[in-house]
Structure 1
Amino acid sequence: MTGLSWTRVIAVMVKEFKQLTRDRITYAMMLLIPVIQLALFGYAINTEPRHLPTAVLALEDSRYARSIVAGLKNSLYFDFVAQARSPAELDAMIRRGDVQFAVTIPGDFSRRVARGDAAQILVEADATDPSATGGAVAALAALPDGVLAQDLKGALAARGQDLPPFEVVVHRRYNPEAVTSYNIVPGLLGVILSLTLVMMTALSVTRETERGTMETLLATPLEPLEVMIGKLAPYVLVGLIQTVLILILSKVLFQVPMAGGWPGLVLGVTLFIVGSLALGFLISTVARSQLQAMQMSFFYILPSILLSGFMFPFRGMPGWAQAIGEVIPVTHFLRVVRGSLLKGQGLEDQWRELAALLAFVLVVTALAVARYRRTLD
């Protein structure tokens, strides 16, 4: 046995550096993933969102009503983006998820304030994600004490020293007890399907390439789309079984409410499963090894978990992060799942999210088929 030779050690080091330059995908992942993690956790994650979209239904046009709207704006938690003309329109906005809060100022509000007759305003919160509304709901407690201070003069001001001039009635819709599992557990469906289906398909097809069996398929008269359908069809069944199992366990173990909306849920699950499998197939046409396939799958899954609204409130992220999140299919799938299970949304409420999932399926499938014949190049 010879002694340690630094010449041989350096030769091995040089060889490894050359290997890194040849394996560009792995090298890029090693550099990009830490940078992306730092940027996402440092800039995009916000556990106390502000400037939440809010709609108002003011059944009277008075200075008191205007003062309340101004006071809500000044709290920085509420951004008024719509003015409803009827209770039904206000209800539709919050059910569809267009707004996070809905404020109703009754038609006799000013008269009740002037008489000291238990005036109230109603604030409805979309509480499907308790962490997204907790800070704003807490801020409402301080609203009655000072928002009308400039409007109440003389005897009205003196009477208001004993009791607040009005009361804010908060209605947490869809999750009144603020149970976190009602939001997290349905969201897990999208994360689990992404983790298993995308990675499973990418590794399966890449494994065939490494073993040489893909060459046999390429030598056959099979069309790319035929091969893709044949290889992915069994995994569609796997995804459906996973979905049914997760929904059953969600109900049995965590008592997640099943409000309905089954047509949208079934369609959304089907589109998401097919799109995830097609994405895995596309990754396999780019990756040269199973290691690269796993790295590329993780490169997709990481932002899907952080920017989709699964772990952190979607509306708490800055605009650029929300723009990226809107491109991620998991974002739209989570809205379909939570909307169906917690809100009972129908197809008319979910068509935008379903259209986004359909576009995801079509684009990814087209790219996968286009690249399939070059898999072994």
Structure 2
Amino acid sequence: MSAPRRRSSFSWLRIWAVLVKEFTQLRRDKLTYAMLLAVPLVQLLLFGYAINNDPKNLPTAVLVQENSAMSRSVLSAIARTGYFRIEHQARTPAELDRLVRDGEVQFAITIPGDFGRRVVRGDGAQVLIEADAADPSATGSALAALAQLPQEALKRELTGALARSPGSAPPFELVVHRRFNPENITAYNIVPGLLGVILSLTLVMMTALGVTREHERGTMESLLATPAQPIEVMIGKLAPYVAVGAVQAMVILGLGRLLFGVPMAGGWAGLALGLLLFIIGSLALGFLISTVARTQLQAMQMSFFYMLPSILLSGFMFPFRGMPEWAQAIGTVIPVTHFLRVVRGALLKGQTLAEMAPSILALAVFVCTVTALALARYRTTLD
């Protein structure tokens, strides 16, 4: 019977050897090393430069039915607040309504034809401001900045005989309509957004990890030995997850309605088409990640790297128009951005399929591009 092995004394040399071995292994795993550096860098840039909870220079459309010095002074005072950027001069109320419904502008301002006459007479002059309140955080500060506008905007015009006595009522009233979410309920904005984030997180990661797991276990070798074409393998593997995504969507929408009272304004055809494209695109992206990642850890890291800008730059957590132009350009490439517009447009605005066409087209382009890349990278033989 051999004598028990003596436990050696503590050695800094052995610690150093293990340390060198771990750094050597990390250096060989270039993808993991790159992710360790990239994720903090992306977080720093996004939180430091792109995120803004007080958006300014928001696109605004105006319908001026009285071209007078008073109406121009009111518009000038609104622009000076810094929150409104007048981009469109609508000619009819229908055009103004379309600009708001399509999401081209955040605000619509109407100055009626009898505005100046009512101001002079003190006869209850009004200016109508309509806000796209589907995202309450994007409009709250801007509307709050207008609180003193009726008192200040016409001081230069109302002099002499038209001057107002101290303590008198303002020369006109701002009538604010918060459209699509008049109660400013945050859940109406967050719950539809969660649909896109949850589907992205689950579908992309499930697909990426599932296919990568088969490579690690060697089961992919049997599949690659069959005469199945890459497109056939891709369809066969992703089809079950389409059903999973559809069930997730129905559960989220049902609970959103039941628990939070999220409105269901309509737009079901566009929502169904957008949902199908988004699910397919997310699964194809997961498949593409699996062709790049060599391990499940790498697949998970790459999935999270995709999710970070999807949450921060899509308009889910922070106002999309509050970000700088370069961040908005990145956000426009992210499919979650367009899917959120489809979901919110359907549930809150009741948009038709034609009104959702730009976002639907963007999702279709994403599906085609990612699918083509995934098929191009798919290996029909093992390395």
TM over 0.5: yes
- Residue aligning to 1:62: 68
Q: Which runs of 5+ in 1 are unaligned?
A: none
TM-superposition CA deviations, 1:269-325 (whole Å, max 9, x none) = 000000000000000000000000000000000110000000011111111111110
1:20 maps onto 2:26 in alignment? yes
2:358 matched residue in structure 1: 352
User: What is the CA distance between 1:240 and its match in structure 2?
Assistant: 0.2
Aligned equivalent of 2:145: 139
Contact residue 335 and residue 363 of structure 2 kept, 8 A = yes
Within 5 A, what are the aligned runs for 1:92-103? Answer: 92-103=98-109
C-alpha separation between the residues in 1 aligned to 2:164 and 2:254?
Answer: 58
- Cα distance, 1:376 vs. partner? 3.8
Deviation per CA, 1:334-364: give whole Å up to 9, x if none.
0000000000001111111000000000000
Residue 160 of structure 1: how far off its partner (Å): 7.3
Match of 2:222 in 1: 216
Q: Distance in 2 between matches of 1:274 and 1:140?
A: 44
Of Structure 1 and Structure 2, the greater helix share is in 1
Please report how far the alpha carbon of residue 159 of structure 1 lies from its aligned counterpart in structure 2 after TM superposition.
Answer: 4.7
Which residue of structure 2 lines up, in the alignment, with residue 268 of structure 1? 274
Residue 32 (1) aligns with residue 38 (2): yes
1:242-273 deviation per Cα after TM superposition (whole angstroms, max 9, x unaligned): 00111100000000000000011000000000
1:5 CA displacement: 2.2
Aligned match for 2:265, one of 247, 259, 268: 259
| Cα distance in structure 1, aligned partners of 2:237 and 2:373 | 16
Q: Which amino acid aligns with 2:298?
A: Q
State the distance in 1 between where 2:118 and 2:381 align. Answer: 73
Give the stretch that moved more between structures: 1-10 or 57-66. 1-10
Query: Which of 317, 336, 349 lines up with 1:330 in the alignment?
Result: 336
Residue identity opposite 1:55 in structure 2: A
Question: Under a length normalisation based on structure 2, what TM-score does the superposition of the two structures give?
Answer: 0.97
* Superposed displacement of residue 6, structure 1: 2.2
Q: How does 1:25-174 map to 2 (within 5 A)?
A: 25-159=31-165, 162-174=168-180
Question: Partners of 1:236 and 1:142 in 2: how far apart?
Answer: 53
* Aligned partner of residue 348 in structure 1, secondary structure: coil
- The alpha-carbon deviation at position 32 of structure 1 amounts to 0.9
Paired residue for 1:182? Answer: 188
1:2 aligned residue = 8
Q: Which residue of 2 aligns with 1:280?
A: 286
CA contact (8 A) 1:285 1:374 kept: no
Q: 1:375 to 1:17 in 2, by over 3 A?
A: farther
Once residues 71 and 177 of structure 2 are traced to their aligned partners in structure 1, the CA distance between those partners, rounded to angstroms, is 19
Three-state SS of the structure 1 residue aligned to 2:87 is strand
In structure 2, list runs of 5 or more residues that go unmatched.
Answer: 1-6
Residue in structure 1 matched with residue 206 of structure 2 by the alignment: 200
Q: Return the offset for 1:9.
A: 1.6
State whether residues 127 and 176 of structure 1, in contact with CA within 8 Å, keep that contact through their aligned partners in structure 2: yes
- Give the whole-Å Cα distance in 1 for the aligned partners of 2:13 and 2:81: 68
Give the aligned partner of residue 372 of structure 1: 378
Letter in 1 for 2:29: D
Matched, 1:250 2:256: yes
Could you tell me how far apart the structure 2 residues matched to 1:67 and 1:185 are? 40
For residues 31-73 of structure 1, the C-alpha deviation after alignment (integer angstroms, 9 at most, x for no partner) is 1111111111111111111100000000011011111111111
Deviations 1:123-157 (A, max 9, x none): 00000011100001111111101111111121211
Note the C-alpha offset of 1:7.
2.1
| TM-score normalized by the length of structure 1 | 0.98
The one-letter code sitting in structure 2 at the alignment partner of 1:324 is I
Give CA-to-partner distance per residue, 1:96-139, whole Å, 9 cap, x none: 00000000000000110111110001000000011100001111
Q: Which moved more, 1:65-74 or 1:270-279?
A: 65-74
Classify the secondary structure of the residue corresponding to 2:181.
coil
Amino acid at match of 2:206: M
Shift of 1:194: 0.4
Q: Distance in 2 between matches of 1:238 and 1:85?
A: 47
Give the Cα–Cα distance (whole angstroms) in 1 for the partners of residues 157 and 165 of structure 2: 13
Secondary structure of 1:60's aligned partner: coil
Number of the residue aligned with 1:229:
235
Which residue of structure 1 aligns with residue 4 of structure 2? Answer: none
